[in-house]
Structure 1
């Protein structure tokens, strides 16, 4: 394992846009825009309410915010020497985007990108608050501040074993309830319950991404749950997140809190089971676990889209 220290001149390619696409980690952004789309689908299906302009603002805001969060996480982890280890055993789904360790962008350039993204996010949230009311400011403040202090000192709760819970709450209830409020100017029990499905899937996604980084995280002091309790515990936490997500999905239908159509989300179960099998067999091998990293992304996408489709079907058919 080698260590690469940033030099004064980044090793740029011919495409100036490519490093930025890599930096924002597009593959991890659906956990932002799918929950807000789900919330809008719930509001429309249940109450025939849909404000397309407000939805577009929320969609853009959370997506750009996630871009900024990913870049901020990269900068702070790099400065704390979390992501400076690189080599042939790099798992592309863990350890940051790699634009800093590969010399594609400098820390200052990435900081500039963070500032632009957060500036756009704040502007959109103020606009939405003017349109929909002050609670939008509160919800936005929770999301923005928690994303900043995910890795920023002195809080940096991702380093203290609270990052997983923070992501569960923010990428579940905060996003869904915030988007739902923008549509209806009120909150509801149903979107809160359903929001826990993407929330727990996000929990599992972050946990499985921490497992290959166990050694590096411990050395750098990033004491997330996996670094604290070990990779085997991470496997258990991953499975627990999946169990909670699919249990809540099915349970919400059984108790009548959500329409039967969202059971389409169970189509992701075979892929989820496959990811558990791979992780159990290869959790000590950062390369052989890659198919499990890919699988949880598929699980999230299938489940998220299925939930949205389920509500749209309910809105059209009443089923």
Structure 2
């Protein structure tokens, strides 16, 4: 949805739609998204053991229920993140895009990886919400960049509501996970400030 929204905004600003660019670009984001799920499940395994799954929780709890899949999850995370970067490199070369596009892809994948992976572990240092907020720029930005060929001021302004949307999403999935995150040593805003602060 985010990718499509970025694409549609570029088209509203008279960008030319090229189906091959759209497909390549979406594959870059899709692979990074797949890496997100597998890496978060892998690196949050110890924390997830303290949690209780709800319809609003973060994480799938699959590895807690099936710990024999841990190594496979890690390998799949590596596979998808490398694939995303390789497709990004191929896109940049094939369509003669500026190097800034490939750097955009690298930054997005680094954000995916280090959200929960050592040694940065954003979600464990009280800044995971900021990482999710930035995703509100990255995800529609991918669609816009692929279609428009650049990131410009109109898109920066357009992306502001999505920053807040992703921030609120991050807070929302942390609310039911407070006790488990606290026991597992995950420092989220909910753990630091409590549910009352966030809800009020």
Q: Same fold (TM over 0.5)?
A: yes
Offset, 1:157: 1.1
Confirm whether residue 110 of structure 1 aligns to residue 77 of structure 2: no
Question: Corresponding residue for 2:118?
Answer: 153
Q: Output aligned runs, 1:269-284, within 5 Å.
A: none
Task: Specify whether residues 93 and 104 from structure 1 end up closer, same or farther in structure 2 by C-alpha distance, changes over 3 A only.
Answer: farther
RMSD: 1.7
Q: Which structure 2 residue ranges, 5 or more long, are not aligned?
A: none
Question: Corresponding residue for 1:194?
Answer: 158
Offset, 1:58: 1.5
* Secondary structure of 1:85's aligned partner: coil
Question: Corresponding residue for 2:64?
Answer: 101
Offset, 1:62: 0.9
**Bigger relative contact order, structure 1 or 2 (CA pairs below 8 A, ≥6 apart):** 2
Distance 1:207 1:140 in 2: 25
Contact 1:129-1:136 at 8 Å conserved across structures: yes
Contact 1:129-1:135 at 8 Å conserved across structures: no
Distance 1:85 1:60 in 2: 34
Offset, 1:113: 1.4
Distance 1:64 1:210 in 2: 24
Q: Aligned to 1:74, which of 10, 20, 41? A: 41
Confirm whether residue 43 of structure 1 aligns to residue 7 of structure 2: no
Offset, 1:104: 6.8
Distance 1:39 1:98 in 2: 31
Offset, 1:93: 3.0
Q: TM-score, normalised by structure 1?
A: 0.59
Question: Corresponding residue for 2:194?
Answer: 230
Task: Specify whether residues 148 and 122 from structure 1 end up closer, same or farther in structure 2 by C-alpha distance, changes over 3 A only.
Answer: same
Task: Specify whether residues 64 and 126 from structure 1 end up closer, same or farther in structure 2 by C-alpha distance, changes over 3 A only.
Answer: same
Offset, 1:105: 5.0
Offset, 1:72: 0.3
Confirm whether residue 53 of structure 1 aligns to residue 20 of structure 2: yes
Q: Deviations over 1:88-119 (max 9, x none)?
A: x5314314112111117521111121122112
Confirm whether residue 175 of structure 1 aligns to residue 139 of structure 2: yes
Distance 1:184 1:95 in 2: 33
Question: Corresponding residue for 2:84?
Answer: 121
Q: Deviations over 1:61-99 (max 9, x none)?
A: 212211111110111110xx210135xx53143141121
Q: Which structure 1 residue ranges, 5 or more long, are not aligned?
A: 1-33, 237-319
Q: Aligned to 2:178, which of 207, 214, 221? A: 214
Distance 2:55 2:62 in 1: 12
Runs (4+) off by over 6 Å: none
Confirm whether residue 138 of structure 1 aligns to residue 103 of structure 2: yes
